[in-house]
Structure 1
Amino acid sequence: MHSAITRIYAIGALSALSASLTLGAQAAPLQCVAPAKPGGGMALTCKLIQKGLQIPAVAEPQENPLKISYLPGGIGAVAWNSIVTQRRAEADTLVAFSGGSLMNLAQGKYGDADVSNVRWVAAIGVDYGMIAVRNDSPYKTLRDLLDALKKNPSKITIGAAGTVGSQDWLKISMLAKQSRIDPKDLRFVALEGGGEAFTALRAGHVQVVSGDASEATLHTLDGEIRILAILSERRLPGALAAVPTAHEQGLAVSWPIIRGVYVGPEVSDAAYKRWVGRFDAMMATPEFDRLRAATGLSPFAMSGEKLTVYIKKTVEDYRKQSDQLGLIR
């Protein structure tokens, strides 16, 4: 009798453990890591994916909502290092990246890192650079700003995500060079992402922000921010349709920025292919087109092996460009 009861308790305990493990596996949260502070383009990428995965044609039954977490530091370096060294096989952890991440890779700002250290899942849209000031700024146009910088470049502080050589530094530097201003004379303040840059602009700690159009879309709704120029070949549709391009103002500078996500290097082939398939399905829906447009991103869809080849070439191109500018460490 005693042994029979013992067996019953043992079976019950095993059943409870099995149920607990099953629930634990089901409860493992889907996560999108934004490697910057809230309010910038990385957070926007994760929020767009969060909404996209809820599209009926893409959503999976009983799937937990995508959680967004923030891991700022080194303009993406801290998040990269975390995934590559400690979280290599987390199949349900996506990490946002941008063209700025690829620039940092090219310039060696992620340490001894290589494109092949992670698995590139999907690029979900393209952003464009922009230059913004506060609405009470004396600079009404891009030309006004550049004329002021030409007269006294050290008087105007420019907020940019990252240090010398970052994509935000390069955007305004290219505009300066076309206006015969030495970029070395410009006064930059290095900040941790677009969210922090716009916070500094609102507070008056910087007078100008060199950032991205999607970030500007988030911060212009209250009328406190004025965008002087979009760095695209033609005007963007939607909320920023009234903003002129740099080209329209006589400066031939365009700066497209892809946005997407990657996963750790030891994520299984099956899990990786599953993500690629889900993103392909998501980006093929008209619902996602509308969501992407509402965030200020333009159409761009690439995934899996094709994206990996594209990123390898882009990083190599950035490396050559940076080497010519003396920016490689």
Structure 2
Amino acid sequence: MRLSHTLTLTAMLAASTLVAPLALADAEDFPAKDVQYVIPFGPGGESDISARLQQKYFEEITGQQLIIQYMPGGGGAVGWSQLNDMTADGHTIMGSNLPHIVLKPMGKDAGFATEDVNNFYFFHYSPDAILVREDSPYQTLEDLVEAARQAPGVVTFSGSGTYSANDVANTRFQQLADVTTTYIPFKGTGAAVTALLGGQVQAEWGYTTVAANHQDKVRMLAVAAEERHPLFPDVPTFQELGYDMVGGAYRGMAVPSETPEEVQARLSEIFDQINQNPQFRQEMEDLGFVLMDVGNDDVADFLAEQSQQYETSARELGLID
């Protein structure tokens, strides 16, 4: 999306505050119209995929549509920096990702602080994984590690942005494996996958979801989970291979900070209902997602715990001073 398009989208979303009340008389009547779901990445990534699966169930529950829009840039920073300028009546929500919203403000000129992203629900995560094309000469993780040792910096990885789960995973793995690779950040997982499939890079720091969505095109060498993923029983964990890596990307939703508490609670309730739907759960699991249910009342504690871990990791890994 060009900058002009991003600015136009922002203006449209913000302008709607002129015709929409900032509070609802009764949160039970929410939503009173379609809800704009802004994905702060390009199309094709995990945030986009899960949002599209949620659309059907959102309409079944509320009678209103979940309208997906994109505001990519800065690995999510463009969207999150503008979140609090948008309509604060609950009819505009935005995708929220960990560790992105914690690590990015630690860098330079992120445009937002972690506390600016007013989360109301976290609903899934996807474990980190190293992926290569199906025709890649790297049949195992050790094949790739050996290539990186023989030619430091030559092995290239795509990933979804800087100060993201992919960036953290790449940095940590370089330390654990004592190798040097070249990490190339892209505007979301969809673009990172395209770079891998198009031969722009030799490998990708992606997730189990990427492998599930491109099973005939990519090969997963290792997964950063405590146990092997049920969709990929033949793929070893990093721990099995001697690398102490467990982690991934958590995804949820946020609203502008002035959104009424009762509306935030109602949004949390709606998406929790979606998460509990057996058909939705099966669809998500078939795509490689791992579902979780962190509702509005538990978000603060969850974020505090995760933030402490990410900040510690970031300092240890040299991503921040």
In the TM superposition, what are the counterparts of 1:236-315 in structure 2 within 5 Å? 236-238=229-231, 240-315=232-307
Q: Does the CA-based 8 Å contact 2:40-2:79 persist in structure 1?
A: yes
Q: Does the CA-based 8 Å contact 2:103-2:310 persist in structure 1?
A: no
Could you say which residue in structure 2 is the equivalent of 1:46?
51
Aligned to 2:198, which of 192, 195, 203?
A: 203
Q: Does the CA-based 8 Å contact 1:115-1:311 persist in structure 2?
A: no
Instruction: Specify the structure having the higher radius of gyration (Cα).
Output: 1
Question: C-alpha separation between the residues in 2 aligned to 1:304 and 1:216?
Answer: 31
Q: Does the CA-based 8 Å contact 2:124-2:292 persist in structure 1?
A: yes
How far 1:174 moved relative to its partner? 2.2
Could you say which residue in structure 1 is the equivalent of 2:320?
328
Range with greater deviation from structure 2 (247-256 or 69-78): 247-256
Q: Does the CA-based 8 Å contact 1:39-1:218 persist in structure 2?
A: no
How far 1:236 moved relative to its partner? 1.0
| Unpaired stretches in structure 2, ≥5 consecutive residues | 1-18, 21-29
Question: C-alpha separation between the residues in 1 aligned to 2:53 and 2:96?
Answer: 13
Question: C-alpha separation between the residues in 2 aligned to 1:100 and 1:219?
Answer: 24
Could you say which residue in structure 2 is the equivalent of 1:4?
none
Q: What's the TM-score once normalised by structure 1's chain length? A: 0.81
Q: How many residues align?
A: 295
Could you say which residue in structure 2 is the equivalent of 1:31?
36
Q: What's the TM-score once normalised by structure 2's chain length? A: 0.83
Question: C-alpha separation between the residues in 1 aligned to 2:291 and 2:186?
Answer: 28
How far 1:28 moved relative to its partner? 4.1
How far 1:108 moved relative to its partner? 4.0
In the TM superposition, what are the counterparts of 1:109-128 in structure 2 within 5 Å? 111=110, 113-128=112-127
How far 1:36 moved relative to its partner? 0.9
How far 1:298 moved relative to its partner? 1.3
Range with greater deviation from structure 2 (120-129 or 106-115): 106-115
Matched, 1:174 2:181: no
Question: C-alpha separation between the residues in 2 aligned to 1:104 and 1:73?
Answer: 16
Matched, 1:188 2:183: yes
How far 1:90 moved relative to its partner? 4.4
Matched, 1:68 2:68: yes
Q: Does the CA-based 8 Å contact 2:228-2:236 persist in structure 1?
A: yes
3-state SS of paired residue (1:265): coil
Question: C-alpha separation between the residues in 2 aligned to 1:281 and 1:166?
Answer: 29
Q: 1:249 to 1:297 in 2, by over 3 A?
A: same
Could you say which residue in structure 1 is the equivalent of 2:310?
318
Question: C-alpha separation between the residues in 1 aligned to 2:31 and 2:203?
Answer: 47
Question: C-alpha separation between the residues in 2 aligned to 1:316 and 1:208?
Answer: 30
Aligned to 1:218, which of 202, 213, 221?
A: 213
Q: 1:169 to 1:256 in 2, by over 3 A?
A: closer
Which amino acid counterpart does residue 196 of structure 1 have in structure 2? A
Q: Does the CA-based 8 Å contact 2:89-2:263 persist in structure 1?
A: no
Which amino acid counterpart does residue 43 of structure 1 have in structure 2? D
1:77-135 Cα offsets, whole Å, 9 max, x none, are 11112212x20514112211222323434524663633332321111112100101111
Could you say which residue in structure 2 is the equivalent of 1:13?
none
1:205-225 Cα offsets, whole Å, 9 max, x none, are 1111012221332233xx121
Aligned to 2:223, which of 230, 244, 268?
A: 230
Which amino acid counterpart does residue 70 of structure 2 have in structure 1? Y
3-state SS of paired residue (2:297): helix
Q: Does the CA-based 8 Å contact 1:35-1:79 persist in structure 2?
A: yes
Which amino acid counterpart does residue 134 of structure 1 have in structure 2? R
| Unpaired stretches in structure 1, ≥5 consecutive residues | 1-19
1:214-265 Cα offsets, whole Å, 9 max, x none, are 1332233xx1211111111111123x33322222223221113221111111
3-state SS of paired residue (1:201): helix
How far 1:321 moved relative to its partner? 2.3
Q: Does the CA-based 8 Å contact 1:39-1:215 persist in structure 2?
A: no
CA RMSD, 1 decimal: 2.5
Question: C-alpha separation between the residues in 1 aligned to 2:238 and 2:315?
Answer: 26
Question: C-alpha separation between the residues in 1 aligned to 2:111 and 2:304?
Answer: 16
